Structure 1
Amino acid sequence: MQETKKEPGTSGTPDAPGIPAEEAGYGRVFAVREFRAVFAAHAFSLLGLMISEIALSVLVYRLTGSPLMSALTFAVGFLPYLIGGTLLSGIADRFPARRVLVVCDLVCAGFVAVMVLPGAGIAVLLAMRCALAVVAPLFQGARMATLTDVLGDGDLFVLGRSLLRIVSQSALLVGFGLGGLLLSVVSPRGALLITVATFLTSAALLRFGTRRRPARSGARAPLVKDSLSGARQVLADRRVRVLLLLFWVPPMFSVAPEALAAPYADGLGVGSAGLGLLMCALPVGTIAGELYAGSRLRPEARARLALPLVCCTLLPYIGYVLHPGLLWSLLLLTLSGAGSAYSLGLDQWFVRAVPQELRGRAMTLNTAGLMTVQGVGMALAGVVAEFVGVAATVTGAGVLGTVCCLLLAVEARRTEGSAAEK
């Protein structure tokens, strides 16, 4: 499919004709009817996932009495992301996006419905959890690519994706609390039934709230071969490759305080309340940074600040060398989270650097890589902390992460204006 040329500074979509990119704000994004459907579907899917993770963890613990098995219900969700995001990513481009999104939601509803069955044992529960993680990057990648159809590839897309991230971060603040409250009145399997309903609602919103569009790619090669070929094409471009690394590397280091929050809170003697605050500080900073950058800064300013911010976002972690108390730790984490506003600038560069016929695969690969490196980062933080302690591990993540970000920023400058982005 040939990429449709758009006039500079317009949204390029029928739903939002002629909206100047420099005037686009969050309110303008919600003015696009199809985006409202995508946004609502995202909220329902996210709600379902949060409930299912809590309910499944509790259910596995009740069946086994093992904290390790309960923790595995979270851990097994990382590796399948990489599998689905690489071997099956071609699905996002070779079929109409709306069909991919609706089918993914229906398949996920089916997987969770299997978990609800009274006879479903531990093996079945973990297998279904893995299956959900295989489908997730396909859904998320296709949804991100769909945003370019709905909002164009200008500033409206950047703000639309920002809103979806804000919802995801907000869910971290309230989702687990709501899930715990829900489990106080219904059984874990009953909570999983609610997850089935949220996936079905998401599917209905996407089916009837978005327009049918043709597939981006007419590829008819075997799926796995097509997916791997697409991944190679995406990674072969120097500009795209460095942007992907800029998406992946900071989160790989930034998860260190989250992975080690429990032992650090224990060392400070702040109890479960302090632990909750430590877990919330980074998402709070992220939401604040995204909201400010999206609502107060012009697109040109966000682009100028992207690389300086990505180089600074991990610097607050170096403050852990002083073994800060609770209040100082919260401040450092909030500042680091605010630095993640660099994502708005990267989003704009990334969507322009990837050819339209590869966008679904590129977005899927981005999502899969992001989840995988965060899992690796958490595991590495835990291993290192066993030898040098929590404070030294977080400090090291700040130092090493900042160095890596600086090197990537230099490479990103070198690739500006590459042919793929013109």
Structure 2
Amino acid sequence: MRINAGSIFNYNILRALGSRNYRLFFGGQGISLIGTWMQIIAMSWLVYRLTDSPLLLGVIGFTGQIPSFVLAPLAGVLADRRDRRRILIVTQTLAMVQAFIVAGLTLTGIIAVWHLVVLSLFLGIVNAFDIPSRQSLVVKMVENKEDLPNAIALNSFLFNGARLVGPTMAGILIALLGEGMCFLLNGLSYIAVIAALLAMRLETARKERNDTRIIQELGEGLRYAFSSEAIKSILLLSAFISMVGMPYTVLMPVVVRDVLSGGAHIYGFLMTGTGIGAVTGAVYLASRKNVKGLGGMIPLAVGSLGAGLVMLSLSRIFWLSLPVMLFTGFGAMIQMVSNNTILQTIVDDDKRGRVMSLFTMSFIGMAPFGNLIAGGLASRIGASATLLFSGLLCIIAALFFLSKVSMLKSEIDRHILRQVN
């Protein structure tokens, strides 16, 4: 039963906020994510300032995301076995500690690249356990299950709305006070989301399982996911796009400084532009009433991402690059949220943690390999040529995925009909 205080959200794009627990999460996460984006921007700028190396940008990206590739399946089993909210409280606390450590090292002037590599790896391990639990917990926060697609879209709106504020703040703070202040504010921002998690009232139906069955449960999750053509297709597409398309973010400091001859404030503006495009996509998805038609949007979104990367590779002027970033952010957002929403719709709840861990593995876990490849290519052929190559591969993937659209539509319709019955 929906609480009265949330009734105003019933029939608009904010309808998932009618659930008290989701409102708490939305507010706390909104504050925390601004800090997260400030740290992302400050970390990349600091690495490139210290090293002048596109390859080391790729290395930092690799260490921060490779744990999701290695540990996500185990994290998925843990999410299906344990209280997901408690897992998130632990992971958010550890992430806060990481932010304070990197802030201390930077503000005292003793920061070195090896510190950043180690701390990036530590945060990557934390995120490997955080993300599957967070994605799996959303369905428990929303009282009306029909609002789940809206909640997923609002999560993405939140993430990218923070991208509008965080990078701009980071660019200004870096120019005025240095990168350390960004790390410090990020650490403080975690207090909001931890407080929100503690304030939630969730029914926990924890199933006790024998620890000796972990490998068996991993295998069960893999068989379940890859026996479904729909789940398999989405996971493989997510993995490919994450490896060849999304690493453009680690090359942005190179593009800004070496191609556009800009500074930290230009970097912040361009990443904010990506956020505006992504927020536009998230608002559009949040306004949709259900998941029908999302399958057909995926190849269009991937094609949009690819075209944006091609145009970015050809631009040499900031004012031309900025609208291209809007285009790129829009395509990346529609692709990611559509994949996530379809998976959450068609997956069985008792396997949700494991399937979403595979999604984490494909969407985030493959990115470090792409970061290394992109960094290495940029060192040899330049950032612009690397972006051009990435964009063309995304366009090819979009054309290939067109053949999967009718199958996805049938799978979605079948699961919706089953839920109604």
With the length of structure 1 as denominator, give the TM-score of the two structures: 0.77
Which moves more between the two structures, 412-421 or 246-255?
A: 412-421
Is 1:140 the equivalent of 2:127?
Answer: no
Q: Structure 2 matches for 1:366-381, cutoff 5 A?
A: 366-381=359-374
1:278-299 per-residue CA deviation (whole Å, 9 max, x = no partner) reads 433332211112213323x443
- Give the structure 1 partner of residue 357 of structure 2: 364
Which moves more between the two structures, 247-256 or 122-131?
A: 122-131
Q: Distance in 2 between matches of 1:284 and 1:337?
A: 7
Q: Structure 2 matches for 1:46-61, cutoff 5 A?
A: 46-50=33-37
Q: Structure 2 matches for 1:301-380, cutoff 5 A?
A: 302-303=293-294, 305-313=296-304, 314-319=306-311, 325-339=317-331, 340-380=333-373
- Give the structure 2 partner of residue 161 of structure 1: 152
Q: Structure 2 matches for 1:14-413, cutoff 5 A?
A: 24-50=11-37, 71=57, 75-111=62-98, 126-151=117-142, 154-179=145-170, 188=180, 195-215=186-206, 217-222=207-212, 225=215, 228-229=218-219, 231-236=221-226, 237-255=228-246, 257-266=248-257, 268-272=259-263, 274-295=266-287, 297-299=288-290, 302-303=293-294, 305-313=296-304, 314-319=306-311, 325-339=317-331, 340-413=333-406
* One-letter identity of the residue aligned with 1:87: L
Question: Structure 1 pair 300/66, CA: closer, same or farther in 2 (3 Å)?
Answer: closer
- Give the structure 2 partner of residue 5 of structure 1: none
Question: Structure 1 pair 100/397, CA: closer, same or farther in 2 (3 Å)?
Answer: same
Which moves more between the two structures, 359-368 or 411-420?
A: 411-420
Q: Distance in 1 between matches of 2:177 and 2:6?
A: 50
Q: Distance in 1 between matches of 2:5 and 2:220?
A: 32
Q: Distance in 2 between matches of 1:278 and 1:294?
A: 24
RMSD: 4.1
With the length of structure 2 as denominator, give the TM-score of the two structures: 0.77
Question: Structure 1 pair 322/181, CA: closer, same or farther in 2 (3 Å)?
Answer: closer
Secondary structure at the residue paired with 1:212?
coil
Secondary structure at the residue paired with 1:252?
helix
Q: Distance in 1 between matches of 2:192 and 2:173?
A: 19
* One-letter identity of the residue aligned with 2:137: T
Question: Structure 1 pair 56/287, CA: closer, same or farther in 2 (3 Å)?
Answer: closer
Q: Distance in 1 between matches of 2:387 and 2:47?
A: 31
Question: Structure 1 pair 380/129, CA: closer, same or farther in 2 (3 Å)?
Answer: closer
Question: Structure 1 pair 70/153, CA: closer, same or farther in 2 (3 Å)?
Answer: farther
More helix by share: 2
1:220-239 per-residue CA deviation (whole Å, 9 max, x = no partner) reads 23475256335423532332
Secondary structure at the residue paired with 1:41?
helix
Q: How many residues align?
A: 403
Q: Distance in 1 between matches of 2:318 and 2:182?
A: 34
Gaps of 5+ in 2: none
Q: Distance in 1 between matches of 2:336 and 2:256?
A: 29
